[in-house]
Structure 1
Amino acid sequence: MNFQKIKESDEVELPLLLKNRLISLVAYIQQKIEASEFDALSLATIAKDNRMTIPQLMEFGFTKSNLVCHAVVARNEVMIQTLMTQDLTHLGTTLIEQVEAYLLQMYQYDLRQLPFKTAIQTYAWTWSVVDEERFTNQAMKLMTPIYIALHANGFDRIDARCQTIWALYLRGLRTAAVGKGSAKDCLAAVRVSLNLMIESKK
C-alpha cells in the first residue's frame, strides 16, 4: 500500500454509453451472485441477458472475473463513502480503542455482505493487474482513517503497519465466513495481534 498514491476514482475510463451499460451489467452480476447462479452462467448468456454480444463484452475486457471486480468495486464504494471520512478520535479515548471501534464497523458492514464476498473469492484469484489495483486502492481508502490516527500518534512505518492491520482484518473476517462468527467474534480473533501492532511505535 502506498497511501500517497491513492486514486480518487476506482472506476475505469469508459465511453459514456458503455458506462451506462456497465451500471446495469453490475446490477445483473450482483443479483446472479447473490442468487448463487453466477458460476453456471456462460459469457454468452451474460451477453444475451444484457442485450450485448460476446465480441462487445470482450472488446472492453469484460470477462466473468472482470465483471465480478466491477461488482465488488461498486459494493465497496458504499462502504467507503460510509466509513472513510471518520475521525477516529470520536470512537475511543485510546488509539487501540479507536482502531478496534473502526474495524468493528467494517466487520459489521462486511458481515451483511458475507454471502456475496464468499461467492466471489475464486474469481478474485484471476483478476488482472488493473482489477487488483482497483481493489487495493479501495483497501487503502478504507485504511485511511487508521493511517491518519497512527500518524497523529507518532508511529513510524505506517504503510507497513496498515498493510498488517488490513491482513489481520481479512483474517478476522474468515472467523465469520468459516465459523459463522459475529462482528465481535471477528475482532476478538485478531485482538491480540492488533494490540501487538499498536503497542509499540518502533
Structure 2
Amino acid sequence: MELSQHPLKSQKAQERLAQVIKIAHQLFASRGYEDVGVREIAKEAGISPMQVYRLGVDKHDLLAEVILIVNQELIDGIEPFKNTSHRSALAFIEQYLLHVYEQDIRIKSIRKEGAAFGWKWSGKYEALIIDQLMQILKPIADALAHFKYDEIDARCYAIWSLYYVGYRNAVMNNADADACLIAIKPSLAICLKR
C-alpha cells in the first residue's frame, strides 16, 4: 500500500498508518462513514485516538486515503487504449465504462461514502484524487485523440459526469454494470457527436 506522501519519520509510524487506513476502510465499507469515529478506528487498531491524530490524519483524511487506495487499484487494472482493436471511439468508451462500472460496483459502499463526503477533503487530497481521475480518463482521451475528436478535455469531463449519472443507478437502484451503461448510452452518443 502506497500512502499519499505522508511525511512520517519512522517505518513503524508508516506501518501503523497503513494499519489504521486498512481498519478505516473496513469500517467505512461495512457501517458507513458517518457511523464510524476516530475513537472506534483507534480502538480497532489498538492505539489511542491521539495516536491516530499524531499520524497526521483525521477522519476526513482517512476516507480520502481509502479512496486513493481503491482508485489506485482501479488504475492498476486499466488497459491502455489500443488503436487496432476498436472500430469507433464510442465502442471503446462503452466497453471501457462497462469495465469501470463493474469495478466500482464491487466497492459500491466505499464509492458511495467518497461521493457523499468528498467535499470535506483538504486541497491536498483533492489534488491527488484529481490526478488519479486524469489517469482513469487517459484511455478515453487517447481513444478520442485517435479518432480525431476535438475538445478532448471537455468531452472527457462530460463523459465522466455521465459515468456518475449511470453509477447513481447502481447506488440508488442496485443496478448492475450493464444497466448503468444503458442508462447513459443516449447521452454518451450525443456527447460523441461531431
Determine if the TM-score, normalized by the shorter chain, exceeds 0.5: yes
Could you tell me which of 103, 112, 133 is aligned with 2:106? 112
The size of the alignment, in residue pairs, is: 191
Q: With structure 1 as the length reference, what TM-score do the two structures score?
A: 0.84
* Alpha-carbon distance change, 195 to 38 in structure 1, aligned in 2, over 3 angstroms: closer
Gaps of 5+ in 2: none
Which residue does 1:67 correspond to in 2? 62
CA-CA distance at 1:59 after TM superposition: 4.2
Q: Map Cα deviations across residues 70-101 of structure 1 (whole Å, 9 max, x no partner).
A: 01111111111001x42243653221101100
Q: Is the 8 A contact 2:159 2:188 kept in 1?
A: yes
Q: 2 CA distance for matches of 1:57 and 1:125?
A: 22
Which residue does 2:53 correspond to in 1? 58
Could you tell me which of 153, 172, 182 is aligned with 1:178? 172
* Alpha-carbon distance change, 120 to 94 in structure 1, aligned in 2, over 3 angstroms: closer
Q: Is the 8 A contact 1:10 1:134 kept in 2?
A: no
Q: Is the 8 A contact 1:68 1:120 kept in 2?
A: yes
Q: 2 CA distance for matches of 1:91 and 1:116?
A: 33
Superposition RMSD on alpha carbons, in Å? 2.1
CA-CA distance at 1:192 after TM superposition: 1.1
Matched, 1:190 2:179: no
Q: 1 CA distance for matches of 2:85 and 2:122?
A: 37
Q: Map Cα deviations across residues 38-82 of structure 1 (whole Å, 9 max, x no partner).
A: 533332332343244444433454111110110111111111100
CA-CA distance at 1:32 after TM superposition: 0.7
Which residue does 1:21 correspond to in 2? 16
Matched, 1:159 2:153: yes
Q: Is the 8 A contact 2:3 2:65 kept in 1?
A: no
Q: With structure 2 as the length reference, what TM-score do the two structures score?
A: 0.87
Q: Is the 8 A contact 2:71 2:132 kept in 1?
A: yes
Which residue does 2:5 correspond to in 1? 12
Q: Map Cα deviations across residues 121-159 of structure 1 (whole Å, 9 max, x no partner).
A: 332121111111121111111110011111122222211
Could you tell me which of 73, 78, 85 is aligned with 2:73? 78
CA-CA distance at 1:164 after TM superposition: 0.8
Which residue does 2:42 correspond to in 1? 47
* Alpha-carbon distance change, 90 to 157 in structure 1, aligned in 2, over 3 angstroms: same
Identical amino acids, percent of aligned pairs: 25
Matched, 1:144 2:110: no
Instruction: For 1:190, give the aligned amino acid.
Output: I
Q: 2 CA distance for matches of 1:60 and 1:158?
A: 40
* Alpha-carbon distance change, 30 to 91 in structure 1, aligned in 2, over 3 angstroms: farther
